[in-house]
Amino acid sequence: MDLRLTPTTMPVTVRPGLAAKTGAAQAGVAAKGFQAEMQSALKSVSEAQNFATTLQKQVQMENPKVSLEETMVAIQKAQIGFQATLHVRNRMVQAYTDIMNMQV
């Protein structure tokens, strides 16, 4: 069984006064913004789900080049990514609701 897991990296956050000192590479990460990071995360979750679906279809068609173990790992990765995305969405909706219910 050939199992290759790609390491995940946490995004680097840069304080406004520290951006000039840390270099252009890290300042570029901070300049992307929340919306770009969310779009990137959603795109990667979607790609994982599409990949898992493709592998699942290949296993059902009895393709000898696709192993069942690889397919199950891809399905689990896609499921974990979707669940994490769902939790983030629920937290964002709750935060929005809390802000809207604040008294001014």
What tens digit of pLDDT does each residue of 38-52 get?
899 999 999 999 999
Q: Report the pLDDT averaged over residues 9-31.
A: 51
User: 75: Cβ–Cβ under 8 A, 6 or more apart, which residues?
Assistant: 52, 55, 56
- Check whether 2 has a pLDDT greater than 70: no
Backbone angles phi, psi at 98, to 5 degrees: -65, -40
What value does the CA radius of gyration of the chain take, rounded to a whole number of Å?
A: 19
Listed residue (45, 7, 11) closest to 28, CA to CA: 11
**Per-domain residue ranges of the chain:** 34-100
pLDDT value for 14: 46
**Cα distance from N-terminal residue to C-terminal residue, the chain:** 60
Could you report the per-residue pLDDT of 46-77, keeping only the tens digit for each? 999 999 999 999 999 998 998 999 999 999 99
Tokens 């974990």, located at residue: 80
Phi and psi at residue 57, in whole multiples of 5°?
A: -65, -40
Give the C-alpha separation, 83 to 77, whole Å.
Answer: 10
